[in-house]
Amino acid sequence: MNKTDMKDAILEAKDAKGLKWSDIAKAAGLSPEYTCSACLGMNHLDKKPADAVAKALGLGKDVSAALQRFPKKTWTQTIPTDPLIYRWYEIVGVYGETIKEIINEKFGDGIMSAIDFSMDIQKQADPKGDRVVVTLNGKFLPYKAW
């Protein structure tokens, strides 16, 4: 089973069982954000959490095996058309240079890791409309002179 078929099977089973990502993550023993990313094919799971996810979804060893394979991280569109995903591109387009300037000013010349990284997504109630709170936490990796 390839990652695309795995993703489709997982989403179908998740929907059919009425599960949330937090339910599946609890079975895996991982965060909802990372578990979701692995189930969508952009990260991998070790055997134990992969087996737990497949079991929670009522799926077979082929799904567990696909979850354990290392992903090939590619995007098929230059700019996605899904409005929520597009807004992230807009945020980076408008604020990307600002983010880079502030990080470089505070840390020096380098980058924020997307490998040694965590993410947390929360809902904050607000009478004017609920707020989305996204925390991105990545290790700073300085560039080296050589």
113 an active-site residue? yes
Out of 12, 22, 101, 113, pick the active-site residue: 113
Look up residue 81 and give its DSSP letter: -
22 an active-site residue? no
Out of 87, 101, 118, 131, pick the active-site residue: 87
- What's the full length of the chain, in residues? 146
Of residues 141, 144, 119, 123, the one with CA closest to residue 132: 123
Token couple for 145: 């002179």
Out of 90, 101, 118, 131, pick the active-site residue: 90
Please, are residues 110 and 140 in contact by the beta-carbon 8 Å criterion? Answer: yes
Q: Would you please indicate which residues are annotated as catalytic (active-site) residues?
A: 87, 90, 113
